[in-house]
Amino acid sequence: MQRRTPRRRPLFAGGRRAQRVKHQMLPVGLPAPLGHASNPVDGATLRVLGSGDPAFQRILERVKSAERSVEIRAFLWRDDEAGNQMGEAVLAAADRGAKVTIHKDKIAAVYEYTGGNKQSFFHKRVDPIRGFQAWFLGAVYRAPGSFKQRPNALSERILEHPNIDVQHHRKRFDHSKVYIIDDRYLILGSMGVGDNHRHDWYDVMVEIDGADHIERLRERMAGHDEFDPSRGVDFLVHSREAHRKNTCPMMSHRLALIDSAQVSLTVEMAYMNDRRFTAALARAVQRGIDVKLVTADQADVLANINRYTCDALMRLTGAPDNLTIVLLPRMVHSKVVVIDHRFSDVGSANFTSLSHGVYDEINLYADSESFALSLEAEIASHCAGARIADQRLTYRKMYSGLERAIIAYQSRRGG
């Protein structure tokens, strides 16, 4: 990859990582998130929408203002306040004449039954397979699900509307979170439709405008062209329809980006169990790259595998000063990698085997220093009250084994 040598810039206030002290809190003077800051790249404008309600409101605004079309790819959509507000925005756009297409994955119903308010917006009929999986997850994580789904008149109106096509009857293995408005605005990232994403979790959503880039995304998802890192903006994707079984070019591209780092890697990641990514991060640490990994202290699912991965990274590298593992008290659901304060990889794909070869995933790639710094500032804003891991992490081996079994079961037809 051809690139300039970037200037070294600290992620956290105070530059280099602070001395490791057990449960040490990060400095108070963190950079503020840049919110809707605009970063022109390749004739488009990139914006970091960030997390929580500000990002959710921006998405609602775009959907409500649609004039011609709305396309939504949703993995998770709960029947709660956020889910109903999104439903109302979709219905309003359709009532004005906009054509709406919603790709909703049935496989995610399991997580809708066991998380949040345990109500699914579209999947009101709990079939035996999804019911058993939800029961099993609830038993493992001590969060019993609800198999009595309340009817929702709004979702029924959406399903019956002539201007709305909801594709929700099958397992799509589509983990992406994408909104395309009027073939002009594209919003993507890690945020599901639900109150926990809106109020409790850390996600990262970004926006790009320009019909050319939306056409480029469709081209990439159809498998008509390869990822091109020389472009200012491109997309890292895995498409089950376009890519051969047992292959995932997205994985090799993401690993290559990590291996290309010359100065720094800033990673905020929800779930980690793929040893290829752990090894890539370890290689970066061992060659002197400043690596900062931000994740939840206790994830909602796969918590033990996550802690095992962080522990393995410390064990493999000896936990030198150029490795910082930041553990947040709230759930981290973001999937962001920033290389050398310049190259960005942000979207729906985790560092798991499910995200590489099983699920459809869509990540944005950008070669933009200003956009990368906006992402780093957003990540830094999440870290108030976090602690830096100063010693090997503990995890429950039996539960990590169960989590691996769950992933293996979900991957059985996809890998």
pLDDT, one tens digit per residue, over 90-110 is 999 999 999 999 999 888 888
In sequence order, the β-bridge partners of residue 179 are: 72, 187
Residue 12 pLDDT exceeds 60: no
Residue 159 pLDDT exceeds 50: yes
Mean pLDDT of all residues in the chain? 86
**Tens-digit pLDDT profile for residues 288-311:** 999 999 999 998 877 788 999 999
pLDDT tier for residue 391 given thresholds of 50, 70 and 90: confident
**Tens-digit pLDDT profile for residues 175-186:** 999 999 999 999
DSSP string covering 216-237: HHHHHHTTSS---TTSSEEEEE
The two structure tokens encoding residue 409: 């079961």
Residue 394 pLDDT exceeds 90: no
DSSP state at residue 196: I
Alpha helices in 75-127, H assignment, sequence order: 81-95, 109-114
How far from 85 is each of 25, 38, 255, CA to CA, in Å?
36, 27, 38
pLDDT tier for residue 30 given thresholds of 50, 70 and 90: very low
DSSP state at residue 120: B
How far from 370 is each of 51, 236, 334, 373, 380, CA to CA, in Å?
19, 20, 19, 5, 15
Q: Who's near 150: CB < 8 A, 6+ residues apart?
A: 79, 119
Question: Where do the domains of the chain lie, and which CATH numbers do they carry?
Answer: 13-45+227-415 (3.30.870.10)
Q: How far apart are CA 102 and CA 139, in angstroms?
A: 31
Considering the entire predicted model, what is its pTM? 0.87
